[in-house]
Amino acid sequence: MRIKFLFSLLLSAIFIFSAGHCEAGLYPGGKFKFTLPFGKKYNYNNILVTRVIDGDTIELKSRERVRLIGIDTPETYLGPKLERDSERTKRDYKTIIAMGKRATAFTKKLVDRKTVRLEFDIEKKDRYGRLLAYVYLPDGRMLNAEIVKEGFAQVYTFQPNVKYVELFKKLQKEAREDKKGLWGE
């Protein structure tokens, strides 16, 4: 009796945990199939972006969030980082949030609902569990670089993930000199 209870409890926990994270469909011949995500491997060379969270964070079809390596865009909501950015830049919250919304719109225009390729550096995840990646658009351009190049982000690197830091610094310098994106404000 106790084993049946524990088994049903385990099955219930798996069902609750996997709600919204499972796949169901039909096998050929009409038989029902149900699979859980445990151990599921995703092809990061060809994966759909389902949502742009902000200018430097996206969400994939796998429901994983990706933090773009090497760049930082302005915040779009109130929080400790917005406070730090405001103190550092001497800009008010409203201005920073407006800039963050512009950066988010730029990122969305480039990548939302598109299939991308991820390139990882030394560390694959950050302390929040987000994937850390360089994201490549269908035409081969690197999203991280495009955002910096057009002036919607600044270089923001953490060791050991610094593979393209020199490229990002060069693009940021050019964007500032040309007063592109946020540098024109």
130 in catalytic set = yes
Unique residue bearing structure tokens 């106790």:
2
The residue among 72, 69, 87 whose CA lies nearest residue 125 is 69
75 in catalytic set = yes
From the candidates 2, 51, 65, 67, give the one annotated as an active-site residue: 67
Residue type, 36: L
65 in catalytic set = no
From the candidates 102, 130, 146, 150, give the one annotated as an active-site residue: 130
From the candidates 23, 59, 75, 146, give the one annotated as an active-site residue: 75
The catalytic residue positions are: 67, 75, 130
